[in-house]
Structure formats: structure tokens, C-alpha cells
Amino acid sequence: MARAPNETREKLIKTARELIWRNSYNAVSVDEICASVDVKKGSFYHFFPSKAHLALETMEACTSEMKNKYDDIFSPTRPPLARFEMVVDFLITQQKEAFAELGHVCGCPFMTLGSELAAQDPAIGQKVSEIFKKKISYYESALHDLIRRDEIPNTTDVSLKAEEIFAFIVGQLMTARIKNDLGFIEKEMKRALFDLIGVSKNKNSDLID
Amino acid sequence: MARAPNETREKLIKTARELIWRNSYNAVSVDEICASVDVKKGSFYHFFPSKAHLALETMEACTSEMKNKYDDIFSPTRPPLARFEMVVDFLITQQKEAFAELGHVCGCPFMTLGSELAAQDPAIGQKVSEIFKKKISYYESALHDLIRRDEIPNTTDVSLKAEEIFAFIVGQLMTARIKNDLGFIEKEMKRALFDLIGVSKNKNSDLID
DNA sequence: CTACCACTTGACCGATCAGTCAAGTGGACC
DNA sequence: GGTCCACTTGACTGATCGGTCAAGTGGTAG
């Protein structure tokens, strides 16, 4: 009974991603993932040599999806401040969807997995570090464009500011996961981010829409 | 062979804290904790009704230690900017000690545990949320004092700024854990925090020491 | 001296874990 | 029509999981 190519494999990745994101790596068993997809464990190990390899593959899937989304959001054709506004909107939407589907605020999947496994499996730590580095470089390019447009002082330390933005966003996402409450992210995230960047939201938001 | 009162109990808590902080809750077994303390599992379950209860107790221990430390750092007798400087110094020291002892950057123990267990055990999520709330209130009081001393604009949204500071710090700590690298925290954390607060470090640091 | 009790021990439990394997099954290609 | 092979199945393994329990052990209080 050969199915459509890779159908089982993709369903395993999708389900694993949801279960691990919602709960945690060690809290989700291979049996549980297989049961959710209605597949026997032998099939699982036909596609993946180990549970750890599955985790890496789910991260790979997340990464490529994220790249498409962020390439769009941070397109140079968009005003730089609008990019930050859009990335917050995207995060809110993503978190609300995950909450609706999985019943819990999920936060940043890379951070959750990374925090749990970085000390056990260096490969995971390295992978997550690369992803974080890429995100920071999106922020850096937008900050450079803000300087070019005289919307923030040209004395701004772009690299430092990008680190601040990244840590702030990921910190808020994880806090929301723990509180199981999207309140701050929905209501204050955009204002806080603009404050952090050093522009007032009201001044510019009208130009953007 | 009754030992000094609570000696075993306290050693279990101390060891569990280290192992769980270094690795993760689900990655550390009760057997492993017992073996580290050289105690049999029966003794463990004499003191703790379950593994989850132990986790709560380790958090309790962390919390009371942290309260003493933060009450000192954020003492109103200290200039507010010096409080922030001191909290960063404390974080650096704490992280370096943990790294030296445990062989890996450990980050924020509450965040690690909370991120892993919040979706499984609401009690953990609530406990961690309370701790985070307290930390933010330390930052808020210091920000109010900064306004009082005209060191930041009196238009500053203190509550929002405190959230920014908290998320930034915790985000950096978790990133350092994943990268297993204290570089940024050691070299740039203080400057980034001062930038985030809205004061230049050079301008004020001489007044503080 | 004795009785009590906090504490310790080691053997034990059923459940679950990640991972294995030999025996199919059926679509695709020659 | 036959062969091949990706895929599936279900039964299996040994290790480990959190947790239990009855039988000590020894300090202490009366």
C-alpha cells in the first residue's frame, strides 16, 4: 500500500512539530507521534534513523517556512518601519493560530527546543544558533534602512540594537508561553518594539498603512 | 542511621537543581538524582511525594535565594543606575560560576523549567509567572527612581520599559544557553541594557563607582 | 532499658521508553 | 506477467521510567 510519495513522512513531521512545540521534546514519545498519524513505529523508523533526527527535520521545515515569510516581510521594497510592524503582526497571528489549534500559547519553537536540548545535543544548539543569527540580520538590515531614511539617529549601534530587538521579542514570546497569555503581545508588543527601536509609533504608523 | 536533620533532603534539592538547570526536567531521572547524592530511591520518596514536587521545591529554594540577592541589589539606598549595573554584574558572575561548575551555559533556570513544563503542569507555569512579575517590579521601582532623579525623561512609560528590560535580559540569557557562549553577556550586556533604558553608560558610570 | 520514630535500604512493580526486525503488500517499471 | 523496491505492519527487545513497600537501623526521649 504505497501512498502518495512522502505523504507519511510529511505527516509525521507536521504532527511532531505540533506536539513538540506544544509540549516539549522529551515529553512527546515516538509512540505518541505515530499514534497521532495512525502509523506504526516501523514506518517511523523507515523514514527517520532516530527521534533526534526527526527533531532536526521538524526544525528544518520550520526554518524554510520562516525564511519565505521573513524574506517577504523584510523585503527592501517595504519601508523599514513597516517591516517591524509587519513582523509583529505576523507573530501575533502565528501565536493566535497555534493557541487556537493546540490549546496553549506556544512561544518560539526554536527557543523551546533549543533550551531543552542544547546541553544534551550540540547539533540542536548549533542549528538554533544559526536560525537566531539569521533573524538578527533581518533586523540589522531594517535598522540600516531606518538610518538611511533619517528615522533613527545615525549614531545608532545597529548590531547592538538588533540584539536588543531579538532578545526582547524572543523573551516576550517565551514569557507568553509560560503565562499562557497573549495579552501583552497582542496589546503592547508593537508599541514596546517601536519604543525600543527609538521611534514613536504614532508619528509613523499613518505613513505605513 | 539518622543524619543531621534535613541533610539528605537539602542535598537532594541542591543536586536536583543543578542537574535540571544544566539539562532539563524530563532529561533528568529520579534515579540519576539519587545516584548523585548517593541515596536510595526510597529515601527520595520519603521526602518528596513526586518528582514534580521536587521541581517545585527547587524553584522555591531558587526563589528565596534570589529574593535576598535582589533586595540587596535594588535597595533604595543605591543609585538607581547602579542597581542595573549591579544586576548585570550579578548575572555575569552567576552564569560564569554555573558554567565553571556544570560545564555548560545554563541561562535562566525559571525560564528553562517554565518553558518545558508550562504546558504540562499549570502549577509550574503559575509559579514561574509570579517570579517574573516580581523581577519586573524591581525594574519598575528603579525606573521610577531614575525619573525622580531626572536621569530619564519623565514621559517614560515605566511599566512598558520594565517589560522591555525583563524580556531583553531573559532573552539574552536563553540565547547564551543555546549558543553555550557567554560572550555577549560578558561584553555587551551592560551597554545594551543602558542603551535600552535610555542612558549612555559612559556618562554615568563614573558617578556610580 | 525500652519504646518510638525519622530515616534508610534494596528489592520490586507495571508502564513506557527508543529502537529492531522479519514478513508482508502493492504500485511501478520492464 | 513478473520482478523489484519503497513502504507498512505487528510483534518484539532490553533499558529505564516514576513510584511502592516491607523490613531494617539507630538516635532520642521517657
Residues B125-135 pLDDT 10s: 999 999 999 99
Nucleotides in chain D near protein beta carbons (<7 Å): 6-12, 16-22, 25-27
Q: Alpha helices, DSSP H only, in B30-79?
A: 30-37, 41-47, 51-73
Nucleotide nearest to A40 (CA to C1'): D9
pLDDT score of A206: 46
- pLDDT above 80 (res B2): no
What does the pLDDT look like over B142-183, one tens digit per residue?
999 999 999 999 999 999 999 999 999 999 999 999 999 999
Q: Which 126-145 residues of chain A touch chain B by CB within 8 A?
A: 128-129, 132
Do the Cβ atoms of A24 and B117 come within 8 Å?
Answer: yes
Distance from CA of A135 to the nearest CA of B (A): 13
- pLDDT above 70 (res B203): no
Lookup result for grid cell 531594517? A142
Rounded mean pLDDT for each run of 10 residues along chain A, 209 residues in total: 70 97 97 96 96 96 95 98 98 98 97 95 94 98 97 96 98 98 98 93 49
Find chain B residues with C-beta within 8 A of A116's C-beta.
Answer: 24, 26-27, 112, 115-116
Do the Cβ atoms of A178 and B22 come within 8 Å?
Answer: no
Q: Alpha helices, DSSP H only, in B105-198?
A: 109-117, 122-148, 158-179, 183-187, 189-197
Given CB atoms, is A101 within the 8 Å cutoff of chain B? Answer: no
Q: Which 9-38 residues of chain A touch chain B by CB within 8 A?
A: 22-27
Rounded to the nearest 10°, the torsion over CA A49, A53, A58, A64 is -110
Do the Cβ atoms of A192 and B122 come within 8 Å?
Answer: no
Distance A15 CA to C27 C1' (A): 26
Nucleotides in chain C near protein beta carbons (<7 Å): 6-12, 16-23, 25-28
Please, which residues have CB within 8 angstroms of residue A93's CB and are 6 or more apart in sequence? none
- pLDDT above 60 (res B28): yes
Distance from CA of B96 to the nearest CA of A (A): 16
pLDDT score of B174: 98
Judge whether residue B104 contacts strand C, using its CB and a 7 Å cut-off.
no
Which triple of cell numbers denotes residue B24? Answer: 532539563
pLDDT score of A6: 79
Cβ atoms of B167 and A171 closer than 8 Å? yes
* DSSP string covering chain A: ---STTHHHHHHHHHHHHHHHHS-TTTS-HHHHHHHHT--HHHHHHH-SSHHHHHHHHHHHHHHHHHHHHHHHT-TTS-HHHHHHHHHHHHHHHHHHHHHHHSS----HHHHHHHHHTTT-HHHHHHHHHHHHHHHHHHHHHHHHHHHTTSS-TT--HHHHHHHHHHHHHHHHHHHHHHT--HHHHHTHHHHHHHHHT--HHHHHHHH-
Find the CB nearest B171 among A112, A167, A195. A167
How far is the C-alpha of A120 from the C-alpha of A99, rounded, in Å? Answer: 28
Distance A4 CA to C29 C1' (A): 17
pLDDT score of B204: 46
Do the Cβ atoms of B178 and A115 come within 8 Å?
Answer: yes
